[in-house]
Structure 1
Amino acid sequence: MESLVRSCYKRKSGYSFAKKAGDIAREYGIGRIARLASNENPASPSPAALKAAEEALRTVNRYPDENANVLMHALRAHYRHEHFVTGVGMDGVIETILRTLVDPGEKVAISTPTFSFYGLAAMGQGADVVTVPREADFSVDPALFIRQAKDAKVAILCSPNNPTGNATGTDAVRQILEGIEGVLFLDNAYVEFADIDYIPLMKKYENLVLGRTFSKVYSLAGLRVGYAFTPRWLPPWYNRAGTPFAVNSVSMAAAAAALADNDHAERYITHVRQWRKRFTDEIQYPVLPSDANFVMIDVAPHTSDEMVGELARRGVVVRSCRSFEGLPDHYIRANVGEDWENEQFIAGINAV
């Protein structure tokens, strides 16, 4: 029966997950593991979000609101923008955007190295996937990107980029928007940690979609809530293509409440910026400039997996960057965690 599986999934492996903290604890007999591999917020969700989730849990005998009105109203009030779509995490938004816009055989252009799920989702849609390499410093060359993505149905750019951490400036994004024929999906999963704002571009460009998530700054990774700013024309078609009742009642209630708790978000943003500087100043290996809640570190002469193994033995879980297409095999990625986790990480990596 396995012959029925589509050939694209036989040719290419799926998403690569980091090793679980519990597995490392058992393997090395370590009681407390610093979990810095998944770009998660180490803080619990906002009390308001927890209360809203608990109240919504009492209603889960019923299907969620198909229009996600409680979340849509919260997004519109918070951002003063009218048109949004939602999904099961950023991944769900990406999949549905591609399902809405891309026919099999049409081109999807992706700036690399970057988050691997873009390519997997495009492959699942039957797209012709074209990768556009970044410069040696991991910046985006707008002219090169336009040449490769000009006739793409969808072009995908992550800013701040995962795993490199650097953001692409608004002038470069504007140049790309004016030079391509299709839609630019700009993944802004980490934008709250950067000093850059792409939302004003929505007023001018009908081919821009800004993807966001509640997984990072709002501490809701386990509830899987993604959303996107869109032009006026897109939501009716997105909703037609989307999975019914995709975002559950508990998730949308928690997300709406979290959005209103600015203090919770700002505390984590401040925490991230303080520790990004300490990582840069105190780690003995080159730490690349970052606008996200993580840093990428050049650990040469070690390979990515060698350093991940050394840190695991010291009670720290970080992400090997070996699986990121186009990235040399001597980088790791580590997010900002709790104070003790960050201290354990600095001590551990400086001992290797």
Structure 2
Amino acid sequence: MAGRVTRGKRDALLVRDCFRAGGYVFAKKAGEIAQENGISRIARLASNENPYPPSPNAVRQGCDALREANRYPDECMEQLLRCLRETYGSYHFVSGVGMDGVIETLIRILVNPGDGVAIATPTFSFYGLAARAQSAEIRPLQRDEDYSVDPGIFIDAAGDAKISFLCSPNNPTGTVTPPEIIEEILAGIEGILFLDNAYIEFCDTDYLPLMNRHDNLVIGRTMSKAYALAGARVGYAFVPAWIVPFYQRASTPFALNSASAHAAIGALKDREFMNRYVTHVRTWRERVARECGLPVTPSGANFIMVDVAPWTGDAMVRELAKRGILVRSCASFPGLPDHYIRVSIGAEWENELFLKEIQAIREANSGLSQ
């Protein structure tokens, strides 16, 4: 019948790679856990969110921007870029709807169907999802047993890849790659290295000097974590100057809305507020790792990856959910065994509840490996 999309027609209409792209795996929602287990208060330790509201300065500027929401946000976009330069120095920046938006646009301008995209795994799955949507050839680069990166192996495996992705601190392991390793990789690869710094505020490593020496480096950042603006969806990147005009041609017009852009400006101007949260994370990250009684991978992020063997990650997630705690199983991260969970550093009460309940589970030894 005319006007109907049959299954066969649908398959012909869809981009071929949609069939083999599994989609992003989300953690279970807190509301679902509460309803399933009859618990009113859930410790939300699954998504690496900041457990506290944004800076009052960010809230005020974001709300004020809504008074002019009838206008397109062209001026506020430039104001955000100017604020980034005031904060970090005279680098070149691009922005997007979350770091995801930056990644998608970069892939759009760099990758043709069949081009290579190298990804150091296990890591954030969106790199591969975005590359597959462009019909790229994905080249997984397995990290070492301690989740470090061997630069020689990375360079050999990346080959002529148009863009390579490396996350540091890495999600979900928390591993920090030293700048000298990054510099060796930059000197050895043919394409762009996208260095994902979503969690950089939680460690002491500084990669920005590399921007002055390499014009094949892009450093991605986000306002979602340390600045508590996950719901505003503001991402940006330090880029070489030659990328900027091509990025601007390919990006969505007015990608950031006025409220998000101004909230980001307000947050960037209140570094003291952000620094208090970073101190909280570092203090509790050390304590949770020390007191949980299970092996923890050294982390430079606002989360830790915990080895829960002999239990599986999925089983531990279910058991903790019964106790009002939402964490993330690492089973969906390619390259990881199935006995890891990722635990965000939350508010004080959330961290204390996790320590209490993980100890109770260990003592009960309740056969969670089923």
| 2:182 aligned counterpart, secondary structure | helix
Matched residue, 1:153: 162
1:105-144 pair list within 5 angstroms? 105-144=114-153
- Look up the equivalent residue of 2:57 and give its one-letter code: A
Determine the structure 2 residue equivalent to 1:29.
Answer: 38
- Structure 2 CA distance for partners of 1:67 and 1:58, relative to 1, 3 Å: closer
Q: Give, in angstroms, the shift of residue 62 of structure 1.
A: 1.5
The one of 4, 7, 16 equivalent to 1:7 is 16
| Aligned twin of 1:279 | 288
Cα offset, 1:67, TM superposition? 7.4
Mapping for residues 251-266 of structure 1, pairs under 5 Å: 251-266=260-275
Q: Deviations over 1:226-282 (max 9, x none)?
A: 000011111110010111111111100010110010111101110000011111110
TM-score, normalisation: structure 2: 0.94
Does the CA contact (< 8 Å) of 2:76 and 2:261 recur in 1? no
Looking at structure 1, the residues matched to 232 and 21 of structure 2 have their Cα atoms a distance apart, in angstroms, of 28
Match of 2:108 in 1: 99
Deviations 1:290-332 (A, max 9, x none): 0000000000000110000000001000001010011100000
Cα distance in 1 for partners of 2:193, 2:290 equals: 36
Query: What residue number does 2:366 align with?
Result: none
Are 1:66 and 1:245, in contact at CA under 8 Å, matched by a contact in 2?
A: no
1:66 Cα deviation from its structure 2 partner:
6.6
Match of 2:237 in 1: 228
**Corresponding residue SS for 1:243:** coil
- TM-score by length of structure 1 reads 0.99
Structure 1 unaligned regions, length at least 5: none
Residue 298 (1) aligns with residue 342 (2): no
Q: Does the residue aligned with 1:45 lie in a helix, a strand or coil?
A: coil
1:176 paired with 2:182, answer no
In structure 1, give the amino acid aligned to 2:16: S
Counterpart Cα distance in 2 of 1:48 and 1:62: 22
Equivalent positions of 1:170-209 (< 5 A) are: 170-209=179-218
Residue type of the partner of 1:236? P
CA distance in 1, matches of 2:271, 2:73: 26
Q: Distance in 2 between matches of 1:25 and 1:67?
A: 39
The equivalent of 2:347 in structure 1 is: 338
Determine helix, strand or coil for the equivalent of 1:227. strand
Q: Distance in 1 between matches of 2:142 and 2:297?
A: 18
Distance 1:64 1:240 in 2: 17
Which stretch of structure 1 is more off in the superposition, 342-351 or 312-321?
342-351
Rounded to whole Å, the distance in 2 between the matches of 1:114 and 1:82 is: 27
- The aligned residue for residue 70 of structure 1 is 79
| Runs (5+) with no aligned partner, structure 2 | 362-370
Counterpart contact for 1:214–1:224, Cα < 8 Å: yes
State the partner residue of 1:317.
326
- The DSSP-based 3-state class of the residue aligned with 1:341 is helix
Aligned partners of 2:195 and 2:219 also within 8 Å: yes
> Which amino acid counterpart does residue 324 of structure 2 have in structure 1?
G
CA contact (8 A) 1:98 1:121 kept: yes
Determine what percentage of the aligned residue pairs are the same residue. 59
Aligned pair in 2 of structure 1 residues 88, 343: CA closer, same or farther (>3 Å)? same
Corresponding pairs, count: 352
**Between 277-286 and 218-227, the greater mean CA deviation after superposition:** 277-286
Q: 1:47 and 1:144 mapped to 2: Cα distance?
A: 46
Tell me the amino acid that sits aligned with residue 301 of structure 2.
A
Tell whether the 8 Å contact from 2:48 to 2:345 is kept in structure 1 after alignment: yes
Q: CA deviation at 1:82?
A: 2.8
1:214 partnered with 2:223: yes
Q: Whole-Å Cα distance in 1 between the matches of residues 126 and 266 of structure 2?
A: 28
Partner of 1:270: 279
Q: Which amino acid aligns with 2:91?
A: E
Aligned counterparts of 1:276 and 1:296: Cα–Cα separation in 2: 11
Distance in 1 (alpha carbons) for counterparts of 2:256 and 2:92? 17
8 A Cα contact 1:66 1:244, kept in partner: no
Alpha carbons 2:163, 2:191 under 8 Å: kept: yes
Deviation at 1:74, TM superposition (A): 0.4
